[in-house]
């Protein structure tokens, strides 16, 4: 586990990634276009920030918080995995498409591991903070 002070660095990475995303959504204010390299960089900054925040200790760490962190991680992992599988299988339900193996797994492109990790860590962070507030 990382020290509590690393959370600030993780939140900085997350905010930089979200500002890059926001700058692509509002091109009027920023003169920035996101190509595939920038898009990948955005994803890696977001993933790096989420990893640092997720694996940083709380200010006052207890065994109960560690157990809660582990449970939240597994809930987030299985929820994101289920979402990716449901998203890829939903291509079968779109009328007018030819049913093939390629259309079934088209959601899982070359960034599928990045998507899975990012979804898992976002869900983990949300579930962990929600359960931590209940304590």
What residues does each domain of the chain span? 1-57, 59-135
Q: What's the angle, vertex CA 8, arms to CA 7 and CA 13, rounded to 5?
A: 95
State pTM to two decimals. Answer: 0.64
Contact partners, residue 33, CB within 8 Å, separation at least 6: 24, 27
State pLDDT tens for residues 102-131: 554 555 555 566 777 777 888 888 888 888
State pLDDT tens for residues 35-83: 555 566 777 788 888 888 888 888 888 888 888 888 888 888 888 778 7
């Amino acid at each position: 586990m990382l020290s509590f002070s690393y959370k600030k660095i993780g939140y900085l990475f997350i905010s930089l990634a979200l500002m890059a995303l926001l700058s692509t959504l509002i091109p009027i204010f920023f003169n920035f276009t996101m190509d595939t390299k920038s898009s990948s960089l955005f994803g890696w900054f977001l993933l790096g920030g989420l990893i640092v925040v997720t694996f940083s200790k709380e200010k006052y760490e207890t065994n109960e918080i560690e157990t809660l962190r582990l449970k939240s991680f597994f809930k987030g992992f299985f929820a994101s995995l289920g979402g990716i599988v449901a998203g890829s299988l939903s291509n079968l339900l779109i009328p007018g498409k030819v049913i093939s193996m390629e259309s079934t797994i088209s959601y899982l492109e070359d960034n599928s591991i990045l998507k899975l990790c990012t979804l898992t860590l976002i869900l983990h962070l949300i579930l962990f903070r929600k359960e931590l507030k209940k304590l």
